[in-house]
Chains A and B, each alone.
Chain A
Amino acid sequence: MSTADIASQPQGGEAGRAASDRPGRRAGLASVGPWLRLLRSELGLVFLRRRNLALLAVLAAIPVILGIVLRVSSPQTGAGGGGPAFLGQVTGNGVFLAFLALVVELTLILPLAVAVVAGDSIAGEAGRGTLRYLLAVPAGRTRLLGIKFAAVVAFCLGACLLVAAVAVAVGAILFPVRPVTLLSGATIPLAAGLLRLLFVAGYIAAAMAALGAVGVAISTFTEHAIGAIAAVLVIAVASEVTDNVSQLAAVHPYLPTHWWLSFDALLRSPVAWPDLAHGLLSFGVYAVIFCSVGWARFTTADVTS
């Protein structure tokens, strides 16, 4: 037996065994691996980009500012009736700083951050010219769009969890932390309260992901990222305005922003499932519709950028 034979044998044996042992798993990995690799690359681009880091920093700074302001002015406010929900509870229980921060950020800053990342997703690549190179690789149009949306969803989730985590930390430092008294009056242990907070963050992330789907869809129609970002914001603001016009109550349940604040259903005991289900259904429908629109557009569009 020659040395070449000896050298090649273990390799051949190993490959043969792997192929016979788990052909299904190998085939599965072969198809999933490239998706994960591109997703990792995409997440790196989204989360390491300075602009996006600045957005995340702003999102994280808000609970800190809110906490400090409430701490400094707490003797005066106490049971004041005005202001956003949860404002009164924060001084009594630091955990509520997280709910307050999420409500405050949901009015503008969170949708803005999502609009920036989602609006930039395809349009940014087109404007930079990198889209044509990605498609010539070929990345695959459906695959690229799917990865882009997945990265937007990851950004939404990351942003919501970041706000919640920073707020809980700041709340724990500045205020007492104790078992959580729900909106319905019942008190649940702190751990259960934090679990509810996690669900709330997830619900808001789902709401943002639906807005992100709108952004990704719009992003496939232009090569000017700023235009796509502005369009998403216009849609969000127009929806919120419409939601506040009582004469248009008939269309309210269909608005993309209508169910955003329904997460308070999670702060009742028992949980108000119908509201929650309505909200999640609305987000799901928006995501499906706009992902389809984006897909239909992106897989047939001429890339001339």
Chain B
Amino acid sequence: MSPAARPDTRDEVSFGRVADGDERLPAPGAPRRPQSDTAGLAIATSGLAKRFRGQMAVAGIDLAVPRGSVYGFLGPNGSGKTTTIRMLLGLIQPTSGSQRLLGVAMPEGANTVLPSVGSLVEGPAFYPQLSGQANLARLDAADRVASPRTAQARIGHALNRVGLLTAAGKRYRAYSLGMKQRLAIAAGLLQPRELMILDEPTNGLDPQGTREVRALIREIAADGTTVFVSSHLLAEVEQICSHVGVMRAGELVFQGTLDEMRGRGTTRILVRTGEPALASQVLARLGLADVMVAGREVTAQLGEQAPETVCAELVHAGVPVAGLDTPRASLEDLFVELTGEGFDVNG
């Protein structure tokens, strides 16, 4: 079993956190769905792998993207995110493994399922000599199931949603990068979609453009569309996603809810006290590992203990507790821990 598939029991330990209100999401710690039950999944892959000229780009991943979720697909550049997305959309053939989009096997069912899927793959690409509107008309003409009678209305609606209505007649060549990116998202909105696959939608955008795209993704998700968004920007994922998958060198090293991801880091307890020596003794007696004293602060790994129990024990033992905290590792720490690459900051 891969580390990603291991059910996480740690969630019960943390306290003071309100349970996730979204009922469409599987309960944290719930038993993993059997592989065959993919009805509730917008994207389900099994051992999906791609080899390019002997090089493993994606090494057998099992994606499980629940319907209605906003799934952040994280990973450093070159970790196989775009290759995975291209396989999902039927642009490249997997070397092995199987995949289902909205319950339909890909790439065999491409013609049936892809009309319900909007996508942005590796940046916007349009005809520079055509206007934004004409570009969308071109893509709409390529769609077998799109009605030509409603095309104008749908194109106008899509442009309006991304705030490009005023620039509809302007040539794509003259668009700013942010406008190009928004036009690509508008292309995904030409039809009502059940799933949006967005590859680095905020890549190259200024902070304002990033905010606009983020707001747009929230809106799309609020309509009930499942959003699968790849990114290497953690802040972005943290703000909009309910679920995360983390890629590292072609492997899916973590998959779960954002809270599961946060809780994945070893939770520590931090006690501020005037009696650090006594506190460390109590913590050690309770069986907490890695007890460390630094001035008036004592920290230890919380393990299976509930923080309130630890607090009660400390008070019972006569330790004057000035403060107690269970600091969470930041998402960035967790990300680096998972993907492991880059410079060793502490070294």
Q: Which residues of A contact B (CB under 8 A)?
A: 33-34, 37-38, 40-41, 45, 49-50, 128-130, 132-140, 143-144, 300, 302-304
Contact = CB atoms under 8 A, between A and B. Distances in A.
Contacts of B121: 132-133, 136
A304 B57 CA distance: 13
Interface in B117-156: 117, 119, 121-123, 125-129, 137-139, 141-145, 148
Nearest to A300: B93
A156 B330 CA distance: 63
Nearest to A138: B114
Nearest to B124: A129
B115 interface: yes
Interface in B69-89: 86, 89
A135 B138 contact: no
B111 A33 contact: no
B148 A37 contact: yes
Nearest to B123: A129
A53 B141 CA distance: 23
B125 A128 contact: yes
B312 interface: no
A120 to B, nearest CB: 12
Contacts of B138: 41, 45
Contacts of A128: 125-128
Contacts of A129: 122-123, 125
A132 B138 CA distance: 14
A132 B91 CA distance: 7
Given A33-B148, A37-B148, A302-B92, A136 B119 contact: yes
B4 interface: no
Nearest to B115: A138
Interface of B: 86, 89-93, 110-111, 114-115, 117, 119, 121-123, 125-129, 137-139, 141-145, 148, 184, 187
A121 to B, nearest CB: 14
B277 to A, nearest CB: 62
B92 A144 contact: no
A45 B127 CA distance: 9
Contact of A130 (B89, B90, B127, B141): B127
A143 B144 contact: yes
Nearest to A50: B129
Nearest to B119: A136
A300 B92 CA distance: 8
Contacts of B93: 300, 302
Contacts of A45: 127, 138
B110 A132 contact: no
Most B C-beta atoms less than 10 A away, residue of A34, A136, A304: A136
B144 A34 contact: yes
